[in-house]
Amino acid sequence: MRAALIAFLIAVPGLPATAESNFVPSLDSEPDVCTERPAEPDWMKNIGVREAYKRVLVQDIYRAQNLERIVEAGSCACDIRFPSWEAAETVFLERFAAAERWKMLEASDRYNRRANAVRPEAMAICEAEGNW
């Protein structure tokens, strides 16, 4: 039995690597809906690792604003679901840019709670439009 297994592994040398590669997520994946999404501001893409919490906060603001906008509009059109980053960036710059790290982490938590509160309703609207 062992000899047969060894012979099989020798005969099919790339099999284990091929199987493993099927489980590696691709970073180049295209979204299924609203493929023309606005890019994050350059400063967010280029932020250092030690300040990544700033980027996360802007992303959390953006997500909360967008889910709330979907519910308010009763629509999940791509320009409503994925608008420019300007509004989220403005909130960050006006309210949090000079704040300490712990304040930003608390704010991220608050924006996540806001987003999670309206997510089911926004999701239902978007699913009805085939845009989730």
Query: pLDDT, tens digit, for every residue of 41-57?
Result: 999 999 999 999 999 99
How far apart are alpha carbons 91 and 131 in whole angstroms? 27
Contact of 116 with 105, CB cutoff 8 Å: no
Report the chain's mean pLDDT, rounded to a whole number: 87
**Res 6: pLDDT:** 55
pLDDT greater at residue 86 or residue 24? 86
- The string of DSSP letters for 41-93 reads PHHHHT--GGGHHHHHHHHHHHHHHHHHHHHHHT---HHHHS--SHHHHHHHH
Query: pLDDT, tens digit, for every residue of 71-104?
Result: 999 999 999 999 999 999 999 999 999 999 999 9
